[in-house]
Amino acid sequence: MTDTLGQWLMSEAPMSRRQAIFGRIYRNARAVVRNPTALVGLVIVVALILVAVFAPWLSLGQSPLTQDLASRLGPPSAAHWFGTDELGRDIMARTFYGAQATLTIVFLVAVVVVPIGLVVGMVAGYLGGWVDAVLMRITDIFLAFPRLVLALAFAAALGPGIDNAVIAISLTSWPAYARIARSETLAIARSDFIQAAVLQGASTPRILFRHILPLCLSSVIVRLTLDMAGIILTAAGLGFLGLGAQPPTPEWGAMVSSGRDVILDQWWVATIPGIAIFVVSLGFNLLGDGLRDIFDPKSA
Amino acid sequence: MSTEAASLDPAPPRDLGRRATGIVRRLAGLVFSLAVTFLGLTAVTFFISRLTKIDPVLAVAGDKANKQAYDAAYHALGLDQPVPVQYLIYVKRVLTGDMGMSVLTSNPVFTDLIRVFPATFELSTVAVIIGVLVGVPAGVVAAARKGRWQDQVIRVVGLFGYSVPVFWLGLVGLFLFYGKLGWVSGPGRLDVVYQATMTPITGVVLVDALLQGNWDMFTNAFAHLILPASILGYFSLAYIARMTRSFMIDQLGQEYVVAARIKGNSFWQAVWRHAFPNILVPLITVIGLSYASLLEGAVLTETVFAWPGLGLYITNALFNSDMNAVLGGAVLVGAVFIGINQICDFLYKVFDPRLRTP
């Protein structure tokens, strides 16, 4: 059975659209699993998602918000595996719940940044001329901005919070995607199948969204995965400065910040959430590196 | 730089005139794109200043001002003008160095920025020197030993640098090297003893200490500087090593390297004498880019190490809702960032013969 399924998936001459799509997914998935870098990254990213979803169960009955001032700044112990923070809260529970804040930011930035970048890049690349010149000039301006400092200024003006952190990070992240989408579009737009679609009378939006968009996606996804590490680090930096998720919501950057004053005596308060940030952004870096090797061997 | 350009491009003298006009044209392009990007930057900071919920009139007139005083301040700030006119007024003020008063220090923001900038400059310069001294050889070795253990080790070290939060590494560094081992001095630029005797000349403590011939102060400043600079330098090291490696792999695959080996050069001679000079041009761009991004990384590092530079100034202003200071700092960092980026880009185009239009 598995053998025939494998043959059906790996078929060089798919009989139906469905078979072709499943076949492609299967082949890509196999490539990812066979690339050790990508696999380790994938495992970490999946673990992040699982931890975020199952945080209540993984925390072994500890609440991330319950304060216990009697046992504040306790070292790692049987009751609190990662110790307790300055308000006696369980650091393990807070670290697990902190995955939710990180995942929210990463997800929201992706949802905001990718469509904007794709539309700007595709329109610029496909229409060319002065539209291209103007859009790319704007893109270059935003690309030249220092991300963290601008995010700081935005967060300062709008007030701290996850939403504003997302807006601030998105504002400085979209230009990279516009550039990728534009260069892909420039290459695709000259192909014969686009000319054929034009001759059949397809409208410009139809060509952009039905024919060009799907071909831009793989480069954009690779870039997004690589960017995720930077986004997580910027978000954690904002949190560290007190501009991310607001207390008492557990957020890794803010947790490191709260351990700052006691770093010399109670090292675990700042160290544990820092390791969480490191592992997660390492995971995205590994996955992105691996995906780039698989889907875009030229630029590796 | 000029000697390299000459050796890379033996252009006959009659082309000099055409090349000169080409460079002038590029220079004009550089000035134009610098101007456009700067306008974009100020447009964004102007927009941010409109977003804030702090009433700029109250900040000037005070909350006890009567209606008349309020209206006068409203008019004096140009808030009764149309928004595009307000923006032009803002650009003009920024260009003349008028970024308003800092609420926190009650100095003009411009004066504050000039005072704090040397500290950041000192930190990022030492950091980039560390990054170049370690990153470039590491990248060359990784490329020459591609796929071997040296390459893997350098790759892992680089990947770590890409993934670790700089503020956390700073804290762990303080805990280890200051708290536990006592190898370096703690936060700040100087011990309190020296702060009193210190008279700023250039604002760069290392240079000032040398100028005053105060060797103790120099070593003290160095002990304070070395940890934050190494941590920042590590981040530029990761980037510089990665880029050097990919440039070198390109070069080592070329036939002239094989030719150099056939002529009887040793492997490392071929690497350093023949291949390496060819990556200098792109490498300078990379170093410039990492220098610009260090200015940014300095924001978080300075907060951790209580380093009285631009980053600490901006974050302190942030917590006191001192928007003039925040935006002034953002404009300065942005302008330096843009300037370095575009000048590197320009140098790259001028010195790389392949990118030069005939």
CATH number at residue A140: 1.10.3720.10
Within chain B, all domains assigned CATH 1.10.3720.10 are found at 111-355
Helix residue spans in A71-201 (DSSP H)? 91-127, 129-143, 147-158, 162-189, 192-199
The better pLDDT of the pair B256, B51 is held by B256
Q: How far is B40 from chain A (nearest CA, A)?
A: 6
Classify residue A246: in a domain, yes or no: yes
pLDDT number for residue B197 = 66
Instruction: Give the CATH H-level superfamily of domain B111-355.
Output: MetI-like (1.10.3720.10)
Tokens 């050790």 correspond to what residue? A36
Interface residue of A174, A240, A252, A258 to substitute, partner B, most B CBs within 10 Å: A240
- Among candidate residues A225, A108, A123, the one with its CA nearest the CA of residue A181: A123
Task: Look at B51 and A271 and tell me if their CB atoms are within 8 Å.
Answer: no
Contact B104, B206 (CB under 8 A): no
A197 within some domain: yes
Angle at B311 between CA B223 and CA B205, to 5 degrees: 35
Nearest CB to A144 within list B171, B329, B337: B337
* Spans of chain A below 50 pLDDT: 300
- H-run or E-run covering A6: helix A2-10
Output the CA angle B317-B318-B322, nearest 5 degrees: 55
DSSP string, B236-288: HHHHHHHHHHHHHHHHHTSHHHHHHHHTT--HHHIIIIIIGGGGHHHHHHHHH
The per-residue pLDDT for range B284-332, each reduced to its tens digit, is 888 888 888 787 778 888 888 888 888 888 888 887 777 788 888 888 8
Chain B environment of A149 (Cβ under 8 Å): 296, 299, 314, 329-330, 333-334
B165–A274 CB contact, under 8 Å: yes
B280 half-sphere exposure, CB direction, 13 A CA radius? 16
Chain A nearest-CA residue for B304: A260
Rounded to the nearest angstrom, the minimum Cα separation between A295 and chain B is 18
Quick check: is A180 in a domain? yes
Longest dimension (CA), chain B: 88
Q: Which residues of A touch B339 (CB under 8 A)?
A: none
- Spatial neighbors of B282 by CB under 8 A, at least 6 apart, are B243, B247, B348, B352
Distance from CA of A279 to the nearest CA of B (A): 8
Query: Which residue in the set A137, A144, A285 is minimally distant from B338, CB to CB?
Result: A144
pLDDT at A123: 92
Contact A156 B166 (CB under 8 A): no
Give the gap in angstroms from C-alpha A217 to the nearest C-alpha of chain B.
24
Query: Which residue from A minimizes the CA distance to B178?
Result: A264
Does the beta-carbon distance from B162 to A285 stay under 8 Å? yes
User: How many domains does chain A contain in total?
Assistant: 1
Residues with Cβ within 8 Å of B225's Cβ and at least 6 positions away in sequence, in order, are: B122, B123, B126, B189, B205, B206
Directed axis angle between helix B280-305 and helix B166-173, to 10°? 60
| Residue A10 within any structural domain of the chain | no
Nearest CA in chain A to B336: A146
Residue A4 in any domain: the answer is: no
pLDDT single digits (tens) B98-144: 777 777 777 888 888 888 888 888 888 899 999 999 999 999 999 88
What region, left, alpha or beta, does residue A161 occupy, with left being phi > 0 and alpha being psi -120 to 50 degrees?
A: left
Are A286 and A35 in contact, with CB atoms under 8 Å apart? no
Domain span at residue A67 reads 18-299
Q: Could you say which of A141, A152, A286 has the minimum Cβ distance to residue B37?
A: A141
Asked whether the beta carbons of residue A264 and residue B162 sit closer than 8 angstroms, the reply is: no
The pLDDT score that the predictor gives to residue A296 is 67
| Residues of A whose CB is below 8 A from B321 | 156
The DSSP letter of residue B101 is: B
Q: Are B293 and B157 spatial neighbours (Cβ–Cβ below 8 Å)?
A: no
Given CA atoms B238, B242, B244, B245 in this order, what sign does their dihedral have? positive
The answer to whether the CB atoms of B165 and A150 lie below 8 A apart is no
Mean pLDDT for chain B overall: 80
- The CA–CA distances, whole Å, from A128 to A122, A124, A205, A217 equal 10, 6, 15, 20
Q: Does A133 touch chain B (CB under 8 A)?
A: no
Contact criterion met (CB below 8 Å) for A251 and A257: no
Interface test with B, best of A40, A143, A145, A256 (most B CBs within 10 A): A145
> To 10 degrees, what angle do helices A268-295 and A17-34 make?
130
ipTM rounded to 2 decimals: 0.81
CA–CA distance, A38 with B62 (Å, rounded to integer): 58
User: Is there a cis peptide before residue A248, judged by omega within 30 degrees of 0?
Assistant: yes
The phi, psi pair for B177, rounded to 5°, reads -85, -25
Find which of B45, B163, B321, B338 to mutate to test the A interface (most A CBs within 10 Å of its CB).
Answer: B163
Q: Which residues of B touch A148 (CB under 8 A)?
A: 296-297, 299-300
* A-B contacts at Cβ under 8 angstroms: 140
Q: What is the pLDDT of residue A3?
A: 66
Query: What is the mean pLDDT of the segment spanning B14-26?
Result: 72
Quick: pLDDT tens for B285-296: 888 888 887 877
Q: Measured between alpha carbons, how far is B21 from B25 in angstroms, rounded to an integer?
A: 6
**Backbone φ and ψ of B102, nearest 5°:** -80, 130
Reported as a pLDDT band with limits 50, 70 and 90, residue B196 is: low
A61 phi-psi bin (left φ>0, alpha ψ -120 to 50, beta other): left
Place of tokens 């804030």: B52
Instruction: Give the integer Cα–Cα distance in Å for B35 and B51.
Output: 24
Instruction: State the amino acid at position B219 in one-letter form.
Output: T
Side-chain-side CA neighbours of B295 within 13 Å: the count stands at 29
Taking the CA of residue B33 and the nearest CA in chain A, the distance in Å comes to: 9
Contact A137 B304 (CB under 8 A): no
In angstroms, the CA A100 to CA A32 distance is: 26
Domain assignment present for residue A173? The answer is: yes
In a domain, A5, yes or no: no
Residues pairing with B108 in the sheet: B101
